[in-house]
């Protein structure tokens, strides 16, 4: 999607601090980290949010979780939180599916 911030990051039109990349997904550090380690994992194909996941595109979501499991081990993260915000009220500010991976500090529950 030409006007999507994360599509531009994936395409390299906007610079990012890359963690990992393969054919299906791209991982990069958040520009405004909310924990000592905070990166985002996004599908390369534009999907607006979890609300747009269907039987047609669900495989990439499983793949992203495999990548998160692998990357966190490589980074030595034993405890971490994976978050995806859907819609404005939940705090979604970029309408391209993304999973936040946050680690390195105590976290509260319920989330704010
Ligand atoms: P959301 O608010 O949609 O759940 O998460 C979007 C995330 O993208 C936010 O944590 C925000 O800091 C991050 N973000 C917004 N613009 C950029 C950018 O240009 N580069 C990077 N690396 N992260 C961004
Ligand atoms: Zn996009």
d(CA 72, CA 79): 9
In the residue annotation, 46 being an active-site residue is answered as no
The answer, yes or no, to whether any atom of ligand 1 lies below 6 A from the CB of 85, is yes
**Is the Cα torsion angle 31, 34, 37, 38 positive or negative in sign?**
negative
Q: Give the three-class secondary structure for 97.
A: coil
CA of 69 from ligand 2 middle (Å) equals 23
For 67-97, write each residue's pLDDT tens digit: 999 999 999 999 999 999 999 999 999 999 9
Kindly report the pTM of this predicted structure: 0.98
d(CA 21, CA 104): 23
Q: Which pLDDT score is estimated for 9?
A: 98
For 31-43, write each residue's pLDDT tens digit: 999 999 999 999 9
């Amino acid at each position: 999607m030409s006007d999507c911030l994360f599509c531009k990051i994936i395409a390299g039109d906007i610079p990012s601090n890359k963690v990992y990349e393969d054919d299906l997904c791209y991982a990069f550090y958040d520009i405004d980290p909310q924990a000592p380690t905070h990166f985002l994992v996004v599908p390369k194909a534009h999907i607006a949010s979890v609300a747009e996941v269907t039987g047609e595109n669900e495989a990439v979501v499983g793949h992203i979780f495999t990548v998160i499991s692998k990357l966190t081990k490589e980074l030595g993260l034993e405890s971490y939180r994976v978050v995806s915000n859907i819609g404005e009220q939940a705090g979604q500010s970029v309408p391209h599916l993304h999973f936040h991976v946050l680690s390195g500090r105590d976290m509260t529950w319920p989330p704010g």
